């Protein structure tokens, strides 16, 4: 591209983008789904949590699988008075090896989630690793979707986890598939504190 | 799957995963790249930033395109004494319409980045939206890769932005392609505070 074409090209691009921005005028609480097998599903949710706190909003977090309470994100966000953080999992399914116990933990986690989903003062609800509850049959997807649909109209929700069901994607406003291009773990690097947990 | 097969299946899975964990024994500073056209590239970096802070580590952030300083993430993380945050862009290319000015801003941003990349007390360096510097020819990719390779061995770096060059992906330890499944903006919803900025 010749140098003198650059301003003209950017002016045309600006017209297109300004038009798109003008046509996006609705305001409502969004349902975001972060799925896929790559890194970034939960960390993107926690980045949005930081963003939300920066605007002075309140947030609730429920972790459906994680049982450890020594992660960097939990240690950090527990110090924030505007965040209500609940670690409610029993750990990875291959560690617990007990489907009934896992299902009971997920059902208790959903009861906590419903408290957030009924509270309009909670601006953002993060349901971390919720998708596994559908994969393993711990929760009924239609009942979860009904609770999500009945939440306060300006409340945002982020759901993370691999293999999000099609019906959940259909209900989402924004959905991202975190695709694995490469991962340090596969190259023999152990989970590094601050990066993986 | 019959109920009584569940524990056996999970025991087999645990053996496979335990073996993988045992073989991932290296420890080093990682280069992460978050690319793709979907949501979550920068927010995943900021989630890892929170995680890093939770472990008591220090971090530096350089934003290569963003010029606004009213985002939730900046407002939030600027309050953290362990974070050194630099907004060094001139805004979107279609807003500036001035390639030379954009290039100079990116070069100044890279000088700041090099200060972080020379400081072993900075555990995590986030180079937000750096990839556009290659797309628009503001920075030389080989020079950037050389600076990245020469950084302290335990320092982690996260680079975000669309269309990461192949050579950058090749240099990365972990790379994720945030794939766009759907986005609320395309459905007519304006950028919501706390979610998009």
Instruction: Map B69-107 to HEC letters.
Output: CCCHHHHHHCCCCCEEEEECCCCCHHHHCCHHHHHHHHH
- Segment among A19-23, A60-64, A77-81, B53-57 with least mean pLDDT: A19-23
Number of independent structural domains in chain A: 1
Tell me, yes or no, whether A38 lies in a domain. Answer: yes
Tell me, yes or no, whether A81 lies in a domain. Answer: yes
pLDDT digits (tens, 9 = 90+) for B116-137: 999 999 999 999 999 999 999 9
CB-nearest to B43 from A48, A73, A92 is: A48
Tell me, yes or no, whether A146 lies in a domain. Answer: yes
Distance CA A25, CA B157 (A): 36
- Whole-complex ipTM: 0.93
Count of pairs with CB atoms under 8 A, one residue in A, one in B? 272
Name the band, by pLDDT with cuts 50, 70 and 90, for residue B93. confident
Tell me, yes or no, whether B105 lies in a domain. Answer: yes
Residues 95-134 of A with CB under 8 A from B: 95-99, 123-124
Q: What is the CATH number of the domain that holds A115?
A: 3.40.50.300
Which pLDDT does position A3 carry in this prediction? 62
Task: Quote the strand ranges of chain B, DSSP E.
Answer: 31-35, 59-63, 83-87, 124-128, 156-160, 174-182
Percent of chain A's residues with pLDDT above 90: 88
Tell me, yes or no, whether A196 lies in a domain. Answer: no
Tell me, yes or no, whether B50 lies in a domain. Answer: yes
Average pLDDT score over chain A: 95
Distance CA A90, CA A109 (A): 11
Q: Provide the pairing of β-strand A174-182 with B174-182.
A: antiparallel
Taking a C-beta distance cutoff of 8 angstroms, is the pair B39, B47 a contact?
no
Tell me, yes or no, whether B16 lies in a domain. Answer: no
Which pLDDT does position A68 carry in this prediction? 86
Residues 77-96 of B with CB under 8 A from A: 77, 92-96
Which pLDDT does position B48 carry in this prediction? 98
Q: Supply the range of the domain harboring residue B85.
A: 28-187
What tokens were used for A44? 């993107």
Tell me, yes or no, whether A11 lies in a domain. Answer: no
pLDDT digits (tens, 9 = 90+) for A35-71: 999 999 999 999 999 999 999 999 999 999 999 889 9
């Amino acid at each position: 591209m010749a140098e003198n074409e650059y301003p003209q090209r950017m002016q045309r691009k600006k017209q297109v983008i300004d038009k798109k921005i003008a046509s996006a005028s609705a305001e409502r609480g969004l349902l975001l789904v972060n799925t896929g097998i790559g890194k970034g599903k939960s960390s993107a949710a926690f980045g949005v949590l930081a963003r939300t706190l920066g605007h002075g909003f309140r947030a609730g977090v429920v972790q459906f699988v994680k049982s450890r309470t020594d992660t960097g994100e939990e240690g950090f966000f527990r110090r924030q008075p505007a965040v209500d953080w609940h670690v409610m999992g029993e750990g990875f399914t291959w560690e617990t090896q007990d489907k009934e116990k896992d299902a009971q933990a997920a059902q208790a986690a959903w009861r906590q989630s419903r408290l957030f989903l009924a509270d309009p003062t909670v601006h953002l609800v993060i349901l971390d690793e919720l998708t596994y509850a559908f994969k393993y049959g711990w929760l009924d997807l239609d009942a979860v979707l009904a609770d999500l649909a009945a939440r306060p109209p300006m409340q945002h929700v982020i759901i993370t986890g691999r293999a999000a069901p099609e019906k959940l994607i259909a209900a989402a406003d924004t959905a991202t598939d975190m695709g694995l291009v490469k991962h340090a773990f596969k190259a023999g690097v152990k989970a590094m504190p601050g990066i993986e947990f």
